[in-house]
Amino acid sequence: MSDDRPNPEALLAAIQQREAAQRRGRLKVFFGMAPGVGKTYAMLAAARRERAAGRDVVIGYVETHGRKETDALAEGLPVVPRHELEHRGVRLSEMDLDAVLARRPQLVLVDEFAHTNGPGSRHPKRCQDVLELLAAGLDVFTTLNVQHVESRAEVVRQITGVPIRETVPDTALNGADFELVDLPPEELRARLAAGKIYLPESARTAQEHFFRPGNLSALRELALRFAAEHVGQDVLAYRQAHGIADPWKSGQRLLVAVSPSPTSAALVRWTRRLAGELQAPWLAVYVELPRPLDEPEQSRLARHLALARELGAEIITTTDDDVVRGILRAAREQNATQLVVGKPAGWQALDLWRGGSVLNRLIRESGCIDVHAVRAQEGQTVAARSRPLHFAKPDRRGYLVALGVVAAVTGLNALLQHWLGYQSLALVYLLSVVTLAMLVSRGPTLAAATLTALLWDFLFVKPYYTFWIGGATDVMLFLTYFVVALAMGHLTARLRAQQAAERHREERATALYLFTRELAGAADYADLLAIVIREAGRVFAAEVALSLPEELPGTPPTPYFASTWALGEKEQGVALWAFRHRQPAGRGTDTLPMAEGLHLPLVAGERAVGVLSLRFRAGAPLAPAQREVLDAFVRHIALVLDRERLREAEQQAKLLAESERLSQTLLNSISHEMRTPIAVITGAVGNLGAPTAGGTAGLQQTMVGEIQEAAGRLNRLVGNLLNMTRLESGHVKARPDWCDVADLIQTTLHETGKELARHRLTVDVAPGLPLARLDFALMQQALSNLLLNAAAHTPAGTPVQLSARRDDGGLTLAVADGGPGLPAEVLPRVFEKFYRAPNAPVGGSGLGLSIVKGFVEAQGGRVSAANRAGGGAIFTIWMPPGPPPNVAEEAAS
């Protein structure tokens, strides 16, 4: 029976992919083998065609490298201004991602997909910027060379000898449309020699190294194959989405059927040789049958699948009770064009019962798929022939249950034969066979069907107690019963086997789902690692060790402290081998198979991010289905760990950029603040030393005043820096005491009298203010900074008001000015460290208000800034009420 219905899982995946594509923007990659083939030119030409068709097209980032023909194509296209950055004194320009998102065009041109953004950008890589644009629903055109694809970077390095520092993960290209921009190597070298790619000095060096003819030919082939692979994936997705069963032979794709048979290893190697000759991808498929495998068969199958995986095959495991149907379903789903199976060693009598041999059925039912029947080597054929026929372990309990049920039903029929005819008794026997099929395996069911047919004939059909059947009607009835009983028992047992297989498949899918859900709910990195160890140990009944590389590059991985398996020196050596070679090692593999556990590298892209080591409590190797689940676990763990690594790298980049920004701001502020008073002091000292004709005393007094003022500025600057350092380190400890508010205000005004001399100062202290519990020194510094801020940011002659009153049970101190006020966007940031308003006057370190906030909050109060209704700004300090002072204690002290 053939099943041509499309796979529901494949259909669901295709529908989900199509829905995701409808929500996301489309990515088109102009792909080339090397710089200079014309990718940017082709992208701009395509963009002009899109604009002519009426689409809104903008340039997010395009690098023309000064080529006239490329500049001419870019001219006239709307451009989003770039975001300017400064890094260690160098000005950098990057795509302004926020501006592009705010502009929301239909199509964005983003050159150099693999580019690394400058420090201070939102994402470390430009490809992440593009992914954000796609997630926002914008279409993107971009350019990429083959050497920047992460899975091809190592191959390019081996070909050219040039290390590739900027790469794009292959997953970033999923679902992208590719346009190959190709150029023969001779023409590309001619463009290089003409100076159309690099400057003449650089061009000569490039021709002798990266742009050698052999290198370019190899890179061209690599680019062509990579683009062809992506086209093949698009074809496969289209066939699955539209339920097209027969493969399209747009490219060769091989599939080999793997089983526990000793000849499977030879089939795998033969398929690998054929795939190498055809330069085609290949797959190894195993069809899991309802019959369980014994330990030797599981071991052989695991070795065959490991061999196929090592030789580069994609492993597929499917479940079916018919090998032929399972193989052909997998071949059609994967668009396989050639199928490789083993050639039968001889004639099998049971093939007649099965409807023909596996090979004959594959040839008949394969349709457009070519079938290769490969004969194994002589030694392996003899070994396969000499193996005894395999019989499953007898189900003794099932046979005993069947025998008991048949005996009970026979006794029941003996009682019922006085009221029912012998035809009705056959139905009772048939009911018992169907019921048994739902309880026991196929063997006991078929035995019960045969035994009930014989007992019905022997005991209840005349003549009694013989197997002789007299009438033709009884003969037909006996044969019909026998066939129906066998068929019903067989079909019911088959349904039970299918149900068990579906249950196993559901268990595997549930395990993956629960594992993914647990990882998604991890609170932090340590929790993530703990979940990996716990879930891997629970699902695979194993002790688990998770080894991760140290922070320093090149260091070997070390076991995580929370691992449930303490690796010995030998096992750590096996794990190190798996990490360095990015291949499984240990128990159940061909590499160091005498190890205690199985060591699986966690590979993300072209690098290993760790090793997962398992020591199975049962001791036996994993079944193929379990190994498939384990491989899925390993791939998911590797992706999650790599994602965490990238997230941490992004955070470090942001922290570094912020640190550099603050350091640059501090350096600029301090250099300006120190330069001015130092210049004043230098000039004043010079004037004091110069000979004068008269008025010496008055001039000296003036110079001394200037020196004192400049020294005061320097003292305040250094004091602000020291205070900010104390706040950052947590060394500011408030020492509250009962203080007179009027005395606090008077002392503060005395300290800031010179700076406020050019303003009209008003002091408004509510009468009868009680003592306040404050740290006198911290609050005086906070008030002084607010008054100095008002004097520095308002014109001379404008009023400055200092007020004190009781409010909400506490003390409120306010400094108001008559200046221009604060812009609305400045108010949330006015207390930030090193922050200066856009129109602030020259000078100042941007620390004064930040220190006010720190000193006030250290005393349990709060500070706020707002604009006054009549103009100007007001800064308000509110201190909570303290317990009333103990008069007796105050008097005693």
Is residue 263 over pLDDT 60?
yes
Are 229 and 270 found together in one domain? no
Q: What is the 3-state secondary structure (H, E, C) of 179-234?
A: EECCCCHHHHHHHHHCCCCCCHHHHHHHHHCCCCHHHHHHHHHHHHHHHHHHHHHH
Given its phi and psi angles, is residue 871 left (phi above 0), alpha (psi -120 to 50 degrees) or beta? left
Are 71 and 198 found together in one domain? yes
Question: CA-based Rg of the chain, rounded to a whole angstrom?
Answer: 42
Is residue 409 over pLDDT 70?
yes
H/E stretch holding 59: strand 57-61
List the structure tokens of 703.
């110079």
Residue after which a domain boundary falls, among 498, 515, 544: 498
Residues 806-855 pLDDT 10s: 887 789 999 999 888 888 888 888 888 777 776 666 556 677 788 888 88
Residue 308: predicted pLDDT: 87
Which amino acid would we find at residue 162?
Answer: V
**Cα–Cα distances in angstroms (integers) from residue 882 to residues 219, 772, 876, in the given order:** 77, 7, 19
Residues 605-615 pLDDT 10s: 777 889 999 99
List the structure tokens of 659.
């640190």
Identify whether 691 is preceded by a cis peptide bond (ω within 30 of 0): no
Indicate whether 512 belongs to any domain: no
Identify which of 64-68, 270-274, 349-353, 840-844 has the greatest average pLDDT: 270-274
Dihedral over alpha carbons 799, 805, 811, 815 (to 10 degrees): 0
For 29, list phi and psi in degrees, rounded to 5.
-110, 125
Which residue, among 717, 709, 715, has the nearest Cα to 681 in the 3D structure?
709
Judged by average pLDDT, the poorest of 31-45, 51-65, 424-438 is 424-438
Reported confidence tier of residue 57, pLDDT bands at 50, 70, 90 = very high
Identify which of 32-36, 495-499, 682-686 has the greatest average pLDDT: 32-36
Residue 731: predicted pLDDT: 62
Residue 50: predicted pLDDT: 93
**Cα–Cα distances in angstroms (integers) from residue 453 to residues 29, 418, 428, 435, 613, in the given order:** 71, 20, 11, 16, 56
Residue 826: predicted pLDDT: 83
Indicate whether 169 belongs to any domain: yes
Reported confidence tier of residue 716, pLDDT bands at 50, 70, 90 = low
Mean of the per-residue pLDDT values of the chain: 79
Residue 121: predicted pLDDT: 80
Are 233 and 337 found together in one domain? no
CATH at 294:
3.40.50.620
pLDDT > 90 in the chain, percent: 16
Which amino acid would we find at residue 488?
Answer: M
Indicate whether 525 belongs to any domain: no
CATH at 825:
3.30.565.10
Residue 440: predicted pLDDT: 78
**Residue in this structure with the two tokens 């009944």, named with its chain if needed:** 541
Is residue 344 over pLDDT 50?
yes
Supply the DSSP symbol for 116. B
Are 318 and 438 found together in one domain? no
List the structure tokens of 257.
């059927």
Are 12 and 159 found together in one domain? yes
Indicate whether 378 belongs to any domain: yes
Which residue, among 635, 631, 633, 627, has the nearest Cα to 299 in the 3D structure?
627
Are 229 and 80 found together in one domain? yes
Q: Which residues contact 770 (CB under 8 A, 6 or more apart)?
A: 806
Residues 9-48 pLDDT 10s: 555 555 555 555 556 799 999 999 988 888 999 999 999 9
Task: Give the number of domains in the chain.
Answer: 4
**Residue in this structure with the two tokens 């005498």, named with its chain if needed:** 594
For 367, list phi and psi in degrees, rounded to 5.
65, -120
Residue 42: predicted pLDDT: 93
Judged by average pLDDT, the poorest of 392-396, 447-451, 540-544, 811-815 is 392-396
Judged by average pLDDT, the poorest of 106-110, 247-251, 531-535, 699-703 is 247-251
Look up the pTM and report it. 0.44
**Residue in this structure with the two tokens 């194959």, named with its chain if needed:** 225
Which amino acid would we find at residue 418?
Answer: H
CATH at 155:
3.40.50.300
Residues 751-794 pLDDT 10s: 888 888 888 999 999 888 888 888 888 898 899 889 988 888 88
Identify whether 35 is preceded by a cis peptide bond (ω within 30 of 0): no
Residue 143: predicted pLDDT: 94
* Residue range 849-874: mean pLDDT, rounded: 88
814, 763 contact by CB (below 8 A): no
Indicate whether 616 belongs to any domain: no
For 507, list phi and psi in degrees, rounded to 5.
-65, -40
Are 136 and 224 found together in one domain? yes
Is residue 472 over pLDDT 80?
no
pLDDT > 70 in the chain, percent: 76
Indicate whether 406 belongs to any domain: yes
Is residue 648 over pLDDT 60?
yes
Residue 17: predicted pLDDT: 53
H/E stretch holding 563: none
For 275, list phi and psi in degrees, rounded to 5.
-65, -35
Residue 673: predicted pLDDT: 60
Dihedral over alpha carbons 243, 247, 252, 258 (to 10 degrees): 90
| 723/546: higher pLDDT | 546
761, 800 contact by CB (below 8 A): yes
Residue 593: predicted pLDDT: 80
Residue 299: predicted pLDDT: 77
Are 75 and 216 found together in one domain? yes
Is residue 110 over pLDDT 90?
yes
Given its phi and psi angles, is residue 876 left (phi above 0), alpha (psi -120 to 50 degrees) or beta? beta
Domain with 126, as residue range(s), is 8-241
Q: Which residues contact 104 (CB under 8 A, 6 or more apart)?
A: 136, 138
Are 109 and 203 found together in one domain? yes
Indicate whether 177 belongs to any domain: yes
| Positive or negative: CA dihedral 864, 865, 869, 872 | positive
Which residue, among 90, 64, 89, has the nearest Cα to 75 in the 3D structure?
64
Residue 271: predicted pLDDT: 92
Residue 530 CA to chain centroid, in angstroms? 18
Indicate whether 578 belongs to any domain: no
Is residue 720 over pLDDT 80?
no
Reported confidence tier of residue 338, pLDDT bands at 50, 70, 90 = very high
| 171/376: higher pLDDT | 171
| 24/541: higher pLDDT | 541
Are 145 and 23 found together in one domain? yes
Are 225 and 83 found together in one domain? yes
Is residue 390 over pLDDT 50?
no
Reported confidence tier of residue 54, pLDDT bands at 50, 70, 90 = very high
Are 144 and 279 found together in one domain? no
